[in-house]
Structure 1
Amino acid sequence: MPPPTRSVFDIPKMDCPSEEGMVRMALQGVAGVTSLSFDLHRRQLTAVHQGPTDELLAHLQPLGLGTTLATSSPSGDAAAAAADPAGEARVLKQLLAINALMFVLEIGVGLWAQSTGLIADALDMFADAAVYGLALYAVGRSDALKARAAHLAGWLQLGLALLTLAEVLRRFVFGSEPVSALMMCMGGVALIANAACLILIARQRQAGAHMQASYIFSSSDVIANAGVILAGALVAWTGSRHPDLVIGLVITGVVMNGARRILRLR
């Protein structure tokens, strides 16, 4: 058997968990793929595989992420081809549980506190949980089932995003009284939850660059949590509901964009 090939792809529009999840699902059923490593800072994918590189490119280009082949060469690094699917699956299940629980908690507290920021952040938690859940569901299944699962999650995310957008507009027109203390407290809890996710991923860093990339993109959730906390502080300081509405719009826009990209998956 010839040595495996190490192919590096430039993916300019891959900059969040949704895009990485899409790429993973697109290549899940491709025979001969032994390792996928993601670098979201450089927006690159490194694949160790048997078989033609064109086959991988044919699965990636329909995603609409601007994928191009950077380099491709024989790989004699057996360690790069090694994978620990059991360990990674275990981490994914833990991440899924944390994000699902935080979605339920944040959506409840967000409605109680009349905070669109918390509601939108809960939606971001759901988006992450959907990506992790899809990664687990797709293992060993047909390409058709993977595509259907991806589209279902995309429609769910888009539907929730539109509901949140409607709620932001409703509160803008009819008014709201966001409770700043609850916003900051729940934002702090979400921050702790995301820190736990980062620690879990850090334990699997030695499994490969793709888990290091997961560590990097999970840290982006901390920005949303910090935004909610900042919005709560500004609400308390200014007595205005507008900071809460703004952060709600921003996070909702991010999730809608992720849903759009998932729905483009074929």
Structure 2
Amino acid sequence: MSASCCGPAKKPAVDPRWRRALWIALIVNAVMFLGELGAGEIANSRALQADALDFFADSANYAISLGVAGMALVWRASAALVKGLTLTALGIYVIVGALIAAFDGSSPQPAIMGGVGLAALAANVGVALMLYRFREGDTNMRSVWICSRNDAIANLAVVAAALGVFGSGTAWPDLIVAAIMAMLGITGGIKIIRLAVSELTHEPMPAEAHR
């Protein structure tokens, strides 16, 4: 990179549209986390609980993105690295939870799953469309887009799981979707980690970081 891209004196300007979009996404995800967590507990749905944890992780990710917006690239890439690691860890947690639930034997309530899944889908599609214009930005911006895109795909899977539970009368569709959501989280997290490491490798630390 050129010298003009490095150092504290050349911090990137923060697009006010980007900051506004992040605030909206943060509020939407925080509200959906609380609502879906309670619904997942009531419906005994692992897929809803996994999706609620994903909403929580995204809320934290948006808050981190707001905190580092306008900082030097090294700090934005570092924040993206933390987000990638968190997303990967969340995926592993969901897989372990699904394996444990497979031996539980209880069946979730498809009506609650479907209704909440559709509400979550509407929320995530709205956020994804709002953030679509920023998908080609730096790692921090792209990581937010990846999370939003994955969430919308996951919500479609939750609705499909609700139909599967209703049709089969078993918990397997719910558990399978939870595993799929976990793999989406892991693959998305790994992609963010690779992008962040690439930027950190090629971007010198700003002067104040060495003091």
Task: Please indicate, yes or no, whether the TM-score normalized by the shorter chain is above 0.5.
Answer: yes
- The letter for the 1-side match of 2:5 is A
Say which of 151, 158, 171 aligns to 1:241.
Answer: 171
Say which of 10, 26, 29 aligns to 1:99.
Answer: 29
Please state which structure has a larger fraction of its residues in strand.
Answer: 1
Q: How many angstroms apart in 1 are the aligned matches of 2:4 and 2:89?
A: 31
Q: Which residue of 2 aligns with 1:225?
A: 155
Matched residue SS, 1:173 = coil
Shift in CA distance, 30/224, structure 1 to aligned 2, threshold 3 Å: farther
Gaps of 5+ in 2: 7-12, 198-211
**8 Å Cα contact 1:123/1:161 also seen in 2:** no
Say which of 135, 138, 141 aligns to 2:71.
Answer: 141
Please state which structure has a larger fraction of its residues in helix.
Answer: 2
Instruction: Give CA deviations for 1:80-139 in whole Å, capped at 9, x if unaligned.
Output: xxx870122111211122123222322332233221211222244345444433432222
Matched residue SS, 2:107 = coil
**8 Å Cα contact 1:89/1:136 also seen in 2:** yes
Q: Which residue of 2 aligns with 1:31?
A: 5
Q: Which residue of 1 aligns with 2:116?
A: 186
Shift in CA distance, 172/216, structure 1 to aligned 2, threshold 3 Å: closer
Q: Which residue of 2 aligns with 1:40?
A: none
Shift in CA distance, 250/209, structure 1 to aligned 2, threshold 3 Å: closer
Q: Over the residues paired in the alignment, what is the CA RMSD in angstroms?
A: 3.4
Q: How many angstroms apart in 1 are the aligned matches of 2:193 and 2:150?
A: 22
Structure with the bigger RCO (C-alpha within 8 Å, sep 6+) is: 2
Q: How does 1:41-190 map to 2 (within 5 A)?
A: 85-190=15-120
Equivalenced residue count is 184
Question: 1:168 Cα deviation (Å)?
Answer: 0.4
Gaps of 5+ in 1: 1-26, 33-82
**8 Å Cα contact 1:231/1:243 also seen in 2:** yes
Matched residues, percent identical?
32
- The letter for the 1-side match of 2:169 is G
Per the normalisation by structure 1, the TM-score is 0.57
Q: How many angstroms apart in 2 are the aligned matches of 1:258 and 1:215?
A: 10
Instruction: Give CA deviations for 1:131-178 in whole Å, capped at 9, x if unaligned.
Output: 433432222334554344334333433333232222101111232221
Shift in CA distance, 126/108, structure 1 to aligned 2, threshold 3 Å: same
**8 Å Cα contact 2:14/2:70 also seen in 1:** no
Q: How many angstroms apart in 1 are the aligned matches of 2:146 and 2:190?
A: 22
- The letter for the 2-side match of 1:181 is A
Per the normalisation by structure 2, the TM-score is 0.70
**8 Å Cα contact 1:123/1:252 also seen in 2:** no
Q: How many angstroms apart in 2 are the aligned matches of 1:155 and 1:215?
A: 16
Q: How does 1:252-263 map to 2 (within 5 A)?
A: 252-263=182-193
Q: How many angstroms apart in 1 are the aligned matches of 2:65 and 2:145?
A: 16
Say which of 126, 144, 151 aligns to 1:196.
Answer: 126
